[in-house]
Amino acid sequence: MARSKKILITSETHEKAVLKRSRSAASVRFCAECGQEAETLSLNEAATLLSVPWTEVISRVASGEFHTAGTDERCLAICVRSLRKEWQGR
């Protein structure tokens, strides 16, 4: 019982992230860390992409490992360039 509920929640979250992405596409912002424009993702999108909890994304932003380029509709805009090393290393 508990197991199937967990799977349902996970797939719903994933679906929402995909929907949001197709609706708004990637937004491009200036990343001060990169010194150039970069595509950005929301916290949820970054977490979904890397298959980690969003709390881990937050802590990696705090440690400076992932860049942020301001906020987007009250969400952190996370620089895709800074995620790429992690994401492609898989």
What mask, x for binding Zn ion by CB under 5 A, covers residues 33 to 62? Answer: xx---x------------------------
Task: Single out the residue of 37, 44, 40, 2 nearest to residue 19, CA to CA.
Answer: 44
Region from 15-23, 30-38, 43-51, 58-66 binding Zn ion, contact rule CB under 5 A: 30-38
- Listed in sequence order, the residues at least 6 apart from 41 whose beta carbon sits closer than 8 Å to its beta carbon are 26, 49, 77, 78, 80, 83
Q: Cβ of residue 32: shortest distance to Zn ion, in angstroms? A: 8
Q: Cβ of residue 11: shortest distance to Zn ion, in angstroms? A: 30
Residue 77 · residue 40 · CB < 8 Å: yes
82 binds Zn ion (CB under 5 A): yes
Positions in the binding site for Zn ion (CB under 5 A): 31, 33-34, 38, 67, 79, 81-82
